[in-house]
């Protein structure tokens, strides 16, 4: 998980998150911002760059709840990826068994 401010000295939070997602595409990110256009916020959320935006000053409870939600989302994403991998392995096994069955019928 990555929590970042949008305005930083050498790069924006959006740039930081974009770079970090190149390393881990499943990274769940929360952005803190004091000012940002609705257009930029919607683009980042629609592009899947940011999980949640929080406006500063942030309420501590809101930050904690957002982090807890992000942790749950990360766990759900990991479980979905695990289920997809399991499904692919089972399909491969069934495909291989089907190939064996065809060879046996041909003999």
pLDDT tens-digit profile of 29-54? 998 888 767 777 777 777 778 888 88
Flag whether pLDDT at 105 surpasses 70. no
Instruction: Tell me the sheet residues that pair with 41.
Output: none
Output the pTM of the full model.
0.69
Contact 28, 74 (CB under 8 A): yes
Q: How far apart are CA 64 and CA 27, in angstroms?
A: 18
pLDDT at 100: 58
Is the C-alpha dihedral spanning 34, 36, 46, 39 positive or negative?
A: positive
Residue with tokens 């000012």: 35
Judged on CB neighbours under 10 Å (0-12, 13-18, 19+), 5 is middle
With vertex at residue 42, the alpha carbon angle to CA 27 and CA 44, rounded to the nearest 5 degrees, is 30
């Amino acid at each position: 998980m990555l929590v970042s401010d949008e305005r930083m000295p050498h790069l924006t939070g959006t740039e930081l998150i974009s770079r970090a997602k190149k390393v881990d595409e499943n990274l769940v990110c929360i952005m803190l911002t004091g000012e940002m256009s609705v257009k930029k916020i919607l683009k980042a959320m629609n592009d899947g760059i940011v999980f949640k935006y929080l406006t500063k000053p942030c309420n501590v409870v809101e930050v904690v709840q957002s982090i807890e939600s992000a942790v749950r989302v990360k766990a759900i994403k990991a479980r979905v990826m695990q289920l997809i991998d399991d499904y692919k392995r089972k399909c491969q096994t069934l495909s291989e068994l089907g190939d064996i069955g065809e060879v046996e019928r041909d003999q």
